[in-house]
Amino acid sequence: MKNLSSVVCFLSIIVYQSAHAQNYNNYEQVEHNAPQYITVEGERYVRIPTQRPQQKYYQYQRPAQPQNTPQYVLSEQPSSVKTLLSAAPRFYIGADYSLNATNLSKDNDMLVDDKNSAYDGVIGLKFNPYVSLEAFYQNSNDTEKHNHFISGVDEDMPDGITDTDYCTSLSYKAYGADLLFTIPLYQKIDLLFGLGYAQYDFDLDTTVQLHNKLVDEGFISLDSASHSTGAFRYNAGLQFEVYKDLYLRATARYVKFQKKSVLKDMKELSLGLRYVF
């Protein structure tokens, strides 16, 4: 009986201490050497840290503030500008046949044939569909003109005493460059216009035959002269794309010579082909 009383007493003490420690304002009884304690009825207690429920954190996004600075947006370029900027330069070659009329000074107009024909060789660079630079070399045919004069006419010799045959031959070579601009008109037809500069070298050969009927004698005189001058060239024409990269071109040209003592100007019509690589 005595032992049972001792056990009950011991258990009562343990239960009391546990309940007292758990329920006393979240303080737990500790030994005397524990720091940060309080004394309650002669016993030391320390606070039991309470467990707070886990908090959830959410990312806060600040609403976008309206911008006062203007926003610049690049607009899409027109297709024609894209074509102009993206086009790569292309070489081309060509050939022309031309007919021309040269306006000579009054002293030479009657003795020299001012109509002529020529062949041109051309090489060019097409920077884009609208601008090209063209270099050329032109070689003309020889044109001859014959003149017959009679002098010393009297009653005894109505056919004249002296017969003079005057023959002239005119030819030229030219080389230069033209800057040309192309404007599409309709489908495969383009309008051309441009300005150029060239050097013209003219050769004039003269043959004079004299015959004196009184003595039945005659002689021949040969003479040659050359004339060189620079000239501005004004071009206008049309071209038609016959096949892919192959063009038929017709051009009207006005040539203004700088030295006008012998030659004044020239009007020219040409027909030719161009092939673009």
- pLDDT per residue over 11-31, tens digit each? 555 545 544 444 455 555 555
Question: Quick one: what percent of the chain has pLDDT higher than 90?
Answer: 41
pLDDT band at 114 (very low <50, low <70, confident <90, very high): confident
For residues 233 and 193, give the distance between their C-alpha atoms in angstroms, rounded to a whole number.
11
> Is residue 65 pLDDT above 70, yes or no?
no
Confidence of residue 193 (pLDDT cuts 50, 70, 90): very high
For the structural domain made of 82-276, what CATH number should be given?
A: 2.40.160.20
Nearest Cα to Cα of residue 134 among 172, 98, 94, 87: 94
Domain with CATH 2.40.160.20 in the chain: 82-276
The pTM for the full model equals 0.64
Predicted local distance difference test score (pLDDT) of residue 245: 95
CB 98 within 8 A of CB 270: yes
Taking the C-alpha atoms of residue 258 and residue 106, their distance in angstroms, rounded to an integer, is: 17
Q: Is the dihedral of CA 211, 215, 217, 222 positive or negative?
A: negative
